[in-house]
Chain A
Amino acid sequence: MLLLVLRRVLATVPVMAVVALVVFLMIRLTPGDPAAVLAGDNATLDQIQRIRANLGLDEPLWHQFAAWVGQLARGDLGTSIFTQLPVTTLIGQRVEPTLMLALTTMVFSILVAVPLGVLAAWKAGTWIDRLIMVVAVVAFSFPVFVLGYLLVYQFGISLRWLPTQGYRSPFADPWGFVRHMTLPALALSSIYIALITRITRASVLEVLGEDYIRTARAKGQTEAKVLFRHALGNAAVPIVTIVGIGVALLIGGAVVTETVFNIPGLGRLVVDAILRRDYPIIQGLILVFSLVYILINLLIDIAYTALDPRIRY
């Protein structure tokens, strides 16, 4: 087991190297000049060129890449061209809201979707099943930001039940956190609820056909016990898989949700950086996001072995 983990961790190194190269090349080979943005609207060409030279953007590409990799090796993600703050500091400032949004969304989605999926499987073929499935597809088809604005309009502006934007830390202001997080988490979880409901339904349906379920039923176990202990327990593997896939989607969704609800998270940081050509932030953040994705998938692979003793590497 330990060996397996070690091997998988080592395997992430070449993948991260690919990510670093792709990100670096993509950014440097496309047009865009942070110096022009830095200098401002009234700046003359002369001024812009001097700033370019100061930032080292005139140096050959391989030189810039080597410098960046050297920095990374020292655990340094670089310094924002604009704010002159270290990228790690900027990430530190923004990591909590994104993490909280992701966690809340995940927990909420699983709490809603798993029972719904089990219900749909149990009532397979009835109108309840169809209704749940139709709602799931509709939710999956509606863009997050449209849903977000509908929620803001209804609950923030018309009814004034909840704040329309912003973020509060759960450690400083738990009630404020709940109030601020409700709408974004609701909007963002629509996709996951759809996704997890469907996978749960399918997995449970598959398991329900198996012999041991019939045996359990024949032995007179209650339906709830059959569903939740036997069926769901054995359907855990695919559900965990989809949660893993969801992480990638979640990062994309968080970018949009953070924009709609003005949450000071990593998603907005990276979008702002892209629009401004703040190269160190873009490079650093995409690298961090990719690392998170890889690590979560690694954890999931390990979770498989724990959940399903039949899987061996």
Chain B
Amino acid sequence: MARAQTLPEEPVRAARRAPVLAFVRRYPVAGLAALILGLIVLAALLAPVLWTVDPKALAPTQRMRMPSAAHWFGTDQFGRDVWSRVVYGAQVSLIVALAVATISVIAGTLIAVVSTYIRWLDGLVMRIMDGLMAIPGILLAIALVSLSGASRLTVIMAITIPEIPRVVRLVRSVVLSVREEPYVEAAISVGTPLPQLLWRHVLPNCVPPLIVQATYIAASAMLTEAILSFLGAGTPPEFPSWGNMMAEGRTFFPIAPRIVLIPGVALALTILAVNVLGDALRDRLDPKLAKRTGGLR
């Protein structure tokens, strides 16, 4: 009886699981990337219990120690435990990546949708977007951070703002093409209210390319955060991020390359995982884009 009940469930569960399984089977590298990314996220979340000490604790007598049982990755120039700092550093990189991707996608989508449906606004908004896009993103970000003071929020905003125009352009192109589709024209002609039109017909079409775009934004946000830290305009260095660990440690590169290389590899690995995942998602969700750009943006 029990057996009879459980049996038919098997195929159902398999079927429900199938998209993920099929995805992993089709893109084994992406599966690996997802696994790595999952582990990094988990490490960031569980940082306090992963045999870490206070990542900010200075120990003047313990400067630049080699890796040992007490300090798995050794200590840095102020005697702080590198293992703890790398683990906690994951939090900053991931928060920055997630926040930048989310905010830029939401803000960009809103701006694009609103401006494509309010005609008089369109020209103005697009000129502003062109202007923002013409300013090299990294310079805009450095200027914003160093001029308005280093905090995590300013760094996130500074990386987000240059990303917005790209999202706007992407969404705008989707919206404009969707508007020409017969079923949307039909919906317009029967007088579907605008919000409903956008929600039902326009936004769903934007989601796949946006998910793909978001992964690339996330990857480049982590990189930009590291570059900003390197140039002295990153997140406040009191709390470790991979970027500011590298920036602070670079002076010691010739004697203790691990101080730079450990966070560097962690960063590269995470970005790599996100990029690989993004590629696979794009192949799956947006084959046209894949063809057009050959991968990276």
Chain A interface residues (CB < 8 Å from chain B): 14-19, 21-23, 26-27, 30-32, 137-138, 140-146, 149, 153, 157, 194-195, 198-203, 206, 238, 242, 245, 248, 251-252, 255-256, 259, 270-271, 274-275, 277, 282, 286, 289-291, 293-294
CA gap between A242 and B149 in the complex, in Å: 34
Given A15-B131, A143-B246, A289-B139, are A149 and B275 neighbors across the interface (CB < 8 Å)?
Answer: no
**Closest Cβ of chain B: how far from A147's Cβ, in Å?**
9
- For residue B290, which residues in chain A have a CB less than 8 angstroms away from its CB? 202
13 inter-chain pairs at a CB distance below 8 angstroms, sorted by A residue, are A15-B127, A19-B135, A21-B131, A22-B131, A26-B143, A27-B147, A137-B276, A146-B246, A149-B253, A149-B260, A199-B294, A199-B296, A255-B231
Q: Which residue of A lies closest to B224 (CB)?
A: A252
Smallest Cβ-Cβ distance to B143: which chain A residue: A274
Q: Which residues of B contact A206 (CB under 8 A)?
A: 291
**Which A residues are in CB contact (< 8 Å) with B260?**
146, 149
Interface, chain B (partner A; CB < 8 A) = 127-128, 130-140, 142-144, 146-149, 219, 223, 226-227, 230-233, 246, 250, 253-254, 257, 260-261, 264, 267-269, 271-272, 275-276, 279, 290-297
- Residue on B nearest A252 in the bound complex, by CB: B138
Shortest Cβ gap from B276 to chain A (Å)? 6
Q: Are A290 and B147 CB-contacts (below 8 A) given A141-B268, A153-B254?
A: no
Please determine whether B135 and A290 come into contact, CB atoms closer than 8 angstroms: yes
Q: Is the CB of B227 within 8 A of A252?
A: yes
Residues of A within 8 A of B250 (CB): 145, 149
The closest CB in chain B to the CB of A270 belongs to B139
CB < 8 Å neighbour of A31 from B147, B219, B293: B147
With contacts A141-B219, A145-B246 taken as known, whether A27 is within 8 angstroms of B143 at the C-beta atoms is yes
Known: A146-B261, A198-B294, A290-B131. 15 other contacts (CB 8 A): A15-B130, A26-B143, A30-B147, A32-B147, A140-B271, A141-B223, A141-B272, A142-B264, A145-B246, A146-B264, A200-B294, A252-B139, A255-B139, A289-B136, A289-B139
The 7 closest A-B pairs by CB, nearest first: A202-B294, A18-B131, A252-B138, A30-B147, A141-B271, A199-B294, A198-B295
- The B contact surface, by secondary structure, is helix
Residues of chain B within 8 A (CB-CB) of A282 are: 143
Q: Find chain B residues with CB under 8 A from A289 CB.
A: 135-136, 139
Give complex CA distance A253, B169 in Å.
24
Inter-chain CA distance A138–B68, complex, in Å, is 30
Cross-chain contact B138 with A251 (CB below 8 angstroms): yes
| Minimum Cβ distance to chain A for residue B162 (Å) | 9
Residue in contact with B254 in the complex, picked from A15, A157, A194, A200, CB distance below 8 Å: A157
Q: Which one, A157, A195, A251, A255, contacts B296 given CB within 8 A?
A: A195
- Which of A14, A145, A255 interacts with B127 by CB under 8 Å? A14
Q: Whole-angstrom distance between the alpha carbons of A245 and B166 in the complex?
A: 12
Instruction: Return the chain A residue nearest B292 by Cβ.
Output: A238
A293 touches B293 (CB 8 A): no
CB proximity of B225 to chain A, nearest CB, Å = 10
Partner of B264, one of A21, A143, A270, A290: A143
Q: Are B257 and A202 in contact (CB under 8 A)?
A: no
Q: A140 and B275: CB pair below 8 A?
A: yes
Chain A hits for B127, CB < 8 A: 14-15, 18
**Cβ distance B191 to chain A, nearest Cβ, rounded Å:** 36
- Residues of chain A within 8 A of B149, CB atoms compared: 31
Using Cβ atoms and an 8 Å threshold, which residues of chain B touch A275? 146, 232
Measured CB to CB, the nearest residue on chain A to B274 is A141
Q: Which residues of B contact A14 (CB under 8 A)?
A: 127
| Bound CA–CA A112/B127 (angstroms) | 36
A138 to B132, CA, bound (A): 29
Q: CA of A259 to CA of B290 in the docked complex: distance in angstroms?
A: 35
Q: How far is the CA of A32 from the CA of B290 in the complex (A)?
A: 44
Residues of A within 8 A of B231 (CB): 255-256, 259, 271
Residues of A with C-beta under 8 A to B253: 149, 153
Which of B135, B140, B226, B276 counts the most A-chain CB atoms under 10 A from its CB? B135
8 Å CB contact of B227 from A145, A245, A286, A290: A145
Q: In the assembled complex, which residues on chain B have CB atoms less than 8 Å from the CB atom of A16?
A: 131, 134
In the docked arrangement, what's the CA distance between A19 and B132, Å? 7
CB distance from B77 to the nearest CB of A (A): 16
- A245 / chain B contacts, CB cutoff of 8 Å: 297
Shortest distance between the CB of A99 and any CB in chain B (Å): 15
